[in-house]
A and B are shown apart, each in its own frame.
Chain A
Amino acid sequence: MKLRRLAALLLCLGLLAGLAGCAGDAVQISVWRRSEGSVAVPESRRLPAGTELIAGLAAAFNSEPDEPGLTRAAPEGADILGWRLEGVELKLEVSQGWAELEGFERTVAEGCAVLTFCGIEGIERVSFYLLGQRLGPAMDAGDLILAAEMEAE
């Protein structure tokens, strides 16, 4: 008898948890961050229900990471300001600070942005614009090397 009551209680709790999950309808996303140990690593974030995916990703990309040991992919002042999707290419409007990035700093920032947005279905390439001016060629995830593991020949 006790076992039945317990099972019923657990079923109710499960249903409540399920309903709460449906009501929240949060989306799990990966935002690539800079890390001292591995240059670029993904950070799991949840977008609130009803948030537009690309806009939510851009906002998350511009925000500070939650996980300790991670930093923003782009330095302070280098932000994604807007976006437009043309076919499979996502065109990101970036700030002046972004355009002024040089060398590896810019590679890491753009690489992390590419990895973040190419994770969305339907986006294959990402390009960067400042005031409508293209900053460089569009990049996809294949343009980036994240590990240089060697194997026996």
Chain B
Amino acid sequence: MSGREGRNRKRRRITERVQFKFVLSFFLLVTGLIVLLNTLPIAASRDLVFKEKESSLLGQAAVVSSSLSGLDRMTPDSVGQVMDLLELSSSSRFLVTDAAGLVLYDSDQPAFEGRYALLREVQYALNGKQMFGSRFASGAFFSAAALPVRNGGLILGTVCVYEYDEAQAELLLSILNRMVGISLAVSAAALALTVVFSRALTGRITRLAEAIRVVRGGDYEHRLKPEGNDELTELCEEFNNMTQTLETTEQQRRRFVSDASHELKTPLAAIRLLADSIEQSEGMDEATMREFVSDIGTEADRLQRTTEKLLDLSRRDDGAAAPRTPVDLAEVSASTLRLLAPLAEKLGVTLGCEPQPGCVILAPEDDVYQIVFNLAENAVKYNVEGGSVDIRMRKEGGKVLLIVEDRGIGIPESDLPNIFSRFYRVDKARSRERGGSGLGLSIVHDAVAALGGSIEVAAREGGGTRFTVYFPEPEKGGGGQ
């Protein structure tokens, strides 16, 4: 994929988009809720009507049954006479049969009289049970109730009451239609709002993805403007923090490459200049030539030291870890001071050490030597004639402290935050003059960090600088790794 293609937005089908999924799920949820809210009240209303019908129709059947139970024998005439005396509801149909199911009376359809009713309600009632049934269909409630007509222990016949009610059904249907209308409007509004909100949400995600593409393209200065105060805002802020870190890292990388090139180029240029001078100067006296060759050696040494230190830093960056063994800081300090004694004597600097027994840490021995040596060497090199360097150590709060302080020229307050940066020099001319590479304190910092410790630097009262290294104290019984 080329860079241009990579920067382009990936095309997705509508069903693959987050917005579509969001809208669909929310819409389905709303629709489901609306269906439920529509169904439940209608079902409840329908059940209420059923109950009311049951009570009404069974009540009417009971009145008729009770009136007919006084008859000795149920005949069309006797039943007709009783029914004529009763004030019956005109909205209901009354059907009376004898014990054989023969229709003796039908208030609505007299043509049914004299015919046999092979009806479920008649069968129930003739079995001595009361029966009620109601159904809501075709825009009407159709209800039926039946009761036996008893005379003593004998079942003389049945009374069936039927009702066909369109009025209540119409009312129920009108409520249903109204609710459906409202529901459709609510669903449409919910859908529209979901589209708007989801677009706002996915729009922010899209802007974030676009910003990531821009940064991936190398524009580390690109930032997002956080909107609102939600999780996406947090994500935007984290993105900005990450981009800031990337930008800083990129700047450091560029500076490091530039500094490293410069540090390597300077001794090489000097060597080249000196070599050219020897080559081009005919009849150069031996003393001058020796001096030039000596200078070439000095520059080559500087180049070698810089290269070695760069390799050391690179090894640490790669995370290569040497085996850890118990190392006594007092022994390392004493050994280091012995190595530095000639230099200190040359510069007129006094070395001092207060060995403290038991200040043992768990670390690669070479790393500890490098830490102590670099700190002590710097303290000697950047000192003044008649100055001093002191090394102390002690245990404190679960840490083993190494303190290297000098009474030298000190470090300006403004330079303190940068002294552990690679190739950073407080006084460039003096540093080069004394063979410094600008990498010593970086190596110390990285080595201490790799051991799980920390380092502090502060100006010493009365002049000079104090470095305090905090090493983690080894756990009791812990051995080397």
Contacts and interface: CB of A to CB of B under 8 A. Distances in A.
A31 to B, nearest CB: 15
B162 interface: yes
B126 A150 contact: no
Interface stretch (A61-69, A80-88, A103-111, A125-133): A103-111
B93 A142 contact: no
Given A145-B112, A145-B118, A150 B99 contact: no
A143 interface: yes
A38 interface: yes
Given A104-B100, A106-B100, A107-B101, A148 B95 contact: yes
B119 A37 contact: no
B123 A145 contact: no
Interface of B: 93, 95, 99-103, 108, 112, 114-123, 126, 140, 142, 144, 160, 162-164, 166
Interface in A90-149: 102-104, 106-108, 111, 139, 142-149
Nearest to A114: B116
B119 A152 contact: no
Nearest to B117: A145
Contact of A148 (B114, B116, B160): B160
Contacts of B142: 149-150
Given A145-B119, A150-B108, 18 more contacts: A39-B118, A39-B119, A103-B101, A104-B100, A104-B101, A107-B102, A107-B116, A139-B116, A143-B114, A144-B115, A144-B116, A145-B103, A146-B118, A146-B119, A148-B117, A150-B93, A152-B164, A152-B166
In the complex, the 8 A-B pairs of residues with the closest C-beta atoms, listed nearest first: A150-B164, A107-B101, A145-B117, A103-B99, A39-B118, A40-B118, A104-B126, A107-B100
Chain A interface SS verdict (over half): mixed
A151 interface: yes
A144 B112 CA distance: 9
Nearest to A35: B120
Contacts of A144: 115-116, 118
5 contacts: A38-B120, A103-B99, A144-B116, A145-B112, A148-B93
Interface string A31-51: 000000111100000000000
Given A150-B93, A150-B142, A104 B123 contact: yes
A149 B163 CA distance: 9
Contacts of B118: 39-40, 107-108, 111, 144-146
A139 B160 CA distance: 24
Contacts of B112: 145
Contacts of A148: 93, 95, 117, 119, 121, 144, 160, 162
Contacts of A108: 101, 118, 123
B119 A147 contact: yes
A152 B140 contact: yes
Nearest to B164: A150
B89 to A, nearest CB: 13
Nearest to B103: A145
B11 to A, nearest CB: 41
A119 to B, nearest CB: 15
Contacts of B144: 148
Contacts of A142: 115
Given A104-B126, A152-B166, A143 B116 contact: yes
A111 B116 contact: yes
Contacts of A152: 140, 164, 166
A108 to B, nearest CB: 6
B103 to A, nearest CB: 7
B132 to A, nearest CB: 14
A39 B120 contact: yes
Contacts of A145: 103, 112, 115-119
Q: Residue among A38, A144, A147, A148 with the most chain B CB within 10 A?
A: A148
Contacts of B140: 152
Nearest to A112: B118
A103 B115 contact: no
B106 to A, nearest CB: 9
Q: Residue among A102, A103, A149 with the most chain B CB within 10 A?
A: A103
A5 to B, nearest CB: 42
B218 to A, nearest CB: 62
A50 to B, nearest CB: 33
A145 to B, nearest CB: 5
A150 B90 CA distance: 13
A106 B100 CA distance: 7
Contacts of A149: 142
A124 to B, nearest CB: 16
Contacts of B116: 107, 111, 139, 143-145
Given A103-B99, A104-B101, A107-B102, A151 B115 contact: no
A151 B164 contact: yes
Contacts of A37: 120
Contacts of B114: 143
Contacts of A143: 114-116
Contacts of B162: 148, 150
Contacts of B102: 107
Contacts of B163: 150
Contacts of B103: 145
Nearest to A115: B118
A104 B99 contact: yes
